[in-house]
Every structure is written in C-alpha cells, then in structure tokens.
Amino acid sequence: MKKYTMILLCVAVGACTTTSGVLPAGNGVYTITTGANPGAGGLSESKKLAYVEANNFCSNYGKKITIVNESNVPMSFWGDGNSNTSIQFKCD
C-alpha cells in the first residue's frame, strides 16, 4: 500500500526522479540507471538525467563520454510508474 501511495504522491507533485548514480561495471565501463515519472518528464527526462550525470562524471576526469549501450523502458503501471533509462559508457 505504501508503494502505491508514494507513486500517487510522486505523480501529484510531478517531480519524482531516481538515479542509481554512476557504478563501475569493469574494464573501464560504467553504468547508470535513471527513472522519471510522467509528471517529471517521463522517458525524455530519464534519458536526460542519465546522459547529464554520465557526462558530468567523465568531465570530472577531463574526458568525454562514449556510449557503449543504452536501453529504455517506457512507463509501466505495473512497476514503479517510472520510465527508465540505463546506459553503459566509457570515459575517453
């Protein structure tokens, strides 16, 4: 019940986004997963969050981002209500 209450609250407020933060995946590859509910911009906002955070991570090392893989999952009413983006990237 708490999960559905939180989803409704996020939709009502319209500003719920999530991020895993940048995580090492091995061999110089990093991964990040982000999510955004429809009120916060959905899939387009989720993609933006992922790319901005990954780019900032690489910029901190004076490098540029190179995308290795990207996957997107549109909003699902059966999950957490967010659209999600996962990217794997390198800093070159």
Residue 18, SS3? strand
| 38 vs 15: CA distance, rounded Å | 9
Residue 72, SS3? strand
Q: Where are the alpha helices (DSSP H) in the chain?
A: 2-13, 42-59
Q: What are phi and psi of 45, to 5 degrees?
A: -70, -40
Q: How does pLDDT run along the chain (92 residues), one tens digit per residue?
A: 455 544 555 545 446 899 999 999 999 999 999 999 888 889 999 999 999 999 999 999 999 999 999 999 987 666 667 899 999 999 99
**What is the identity of the amino acid at 5?**
T
pTM of structure: 0.77
Among 91, 92, 88, which residue's Cα sits nearest to residue 20?
88
